[in-house]
Amino acid sequence: MNAWPSSDALRVEPVGEHVLLVTMHRPEVLNAMNAEMGRTMHDLLLALHDDPGAVRAVVLTGAGRAFSAGADLKVRHTQDLADWTRQHAVAERSFELRVESPVPWIAAVHGVCYAGGLEAALSCDFIYAEADARFALTECRIGIMPGCMGTQNLPRAVGERRAKELILSAQPFSGAEAAQWGLVNRLCAPGTVLTEALACAERIAACAPLSVRQAKKSIHFGLQTDLHTGYRLELETWHRLLDTQDRREGIAAFNEKRAPRFLGR
């Protein structure tokens, strides 16, 4: 497996052969995001975009008692406008790279998931969360607004009217509400979310990686357009799988009643 970018602020480690566990690792400040974390995340996403190698799924979580409280505002308080803008530009590229990553990302949320932390979770393909997790986009309370796809991803998850209420009032909400509104896929018992998210990542990794990549692309880009154009995209991505070794292996394994051995070719 490739030597993936990692740092003190962002720990990256393989779990088995095909899954990466990415941990925001500043537990003393609730995993508030600083420049080091941002640069490492950008380098990791760029590496995965260029060549995911054996990686077929990624789980994103936070160390300690929180997922992430968002940007480190103590650091931001000392930055001039140029530094702030440069740091945010790295984040802007990272969030788009995560949304369009060739491999699925699963957010495993516990504790506080606020501001940029929630935007990070929203930019993953889906979210598992512990029942006592707390969510909020708090930016309007401090004179800014969500700037890492929050105003785009939250309405797509919970609907326009509810997203306006949550963003414009900076209103916190619970894990149960997040699940009820469709933002969270699964509520987990306290202390179990990482185990459940990794188990889901392993299920994804057991599927044909080219199929997962093409299906993710079809869902993501198809939803940006009308039904019939989206279906044309589905057919294009479907046809790309026909002449692949994995497609032949999948059909053979089914008929031979054995587990398939997918190679991503």
- The predicted-structure confidence for 13-28, as pLDDT tens digits, reads as follows 999 999 999 999 999 9
Q: Which of 63-77, 97-111, 219-233 has the lowest mean pLDDT?
A: 63-77
pLDDT score for 256: 93
Write down the mean pLDDT value for the chain.
95
8 A C-beta contact, residue 146 and residue 135: no
1 pLDDT exceeds 60? no
- Give the contacts of 121 (CB within 8 A, at least 6 positions apart): 60, 67, 107, 109, 113, 127
Please identify, in words, the CATH class of the domain defined by 10-205: alpha beta
Going by C-alpha positions, the residue among 122, 117, 93, 91 that lies closest to residue 105 is 122
Work out the average pLDDT over 29-58.
96
Residues annotated as catalytic (active site), given as ranges: 71, 116, 119, 139
Q: What are the pLDDT digits (tens) for 140-177?
A: 999 999 999 999 999 999 999 999 999 999 999 999 99
Res 68 pLDDT > 60: yes
- CA 190 vs. chain centroid, Å, equals 21
pLDDT at 136: 98
Q: State whether residue 17 is helix, strand or coil.
A: coil
Q: Which pLDDT score, from 0 to 100, does residue 80 have?
A: 82
Give the Cα separation of 21 and 135 in Å (integer): 22
CATH code for the structural domain at 209-256: 1.10.12.10
Residue 83 has pLDDT above 90, yes or no: no
Q: What is the percent of the chain where pLDDT is above 90? A: 91
* CB proximity list for 81: less than 8 A, separation 6 or greater: none
User: Which residue type is seen at 80?
Assistant: D
Domain ranges across the chain: 10-205, 209-256
Is the pLDDT at 74 greater than 60? The verdict is yes
**10-205 and 209-256 agree in CATH topology:** no
pTM of the model: 0.94
Q: What pLDDT sits at residue 73?
A: 81
Q: What pLDDT, on a 0 to 100 scale, did the predictor assign at position 75?
A: 78
> What does the pLDDT average to over 200-225?
96
Instruction: Give the pLDDT band (50/70/90) at residue 82.
Output: confident
Whole-number pLDDT of residue 37: 96
Question: Is residue 31 a contact partner of residue 63, using CB atoms and an 8 Å limit?
Answer: yes
| pLDDT band at 78; cut points 50, 70, 90 | confident
pLDDT at 53: 94
Is the pLDDT score of 76 beyond 90?
no
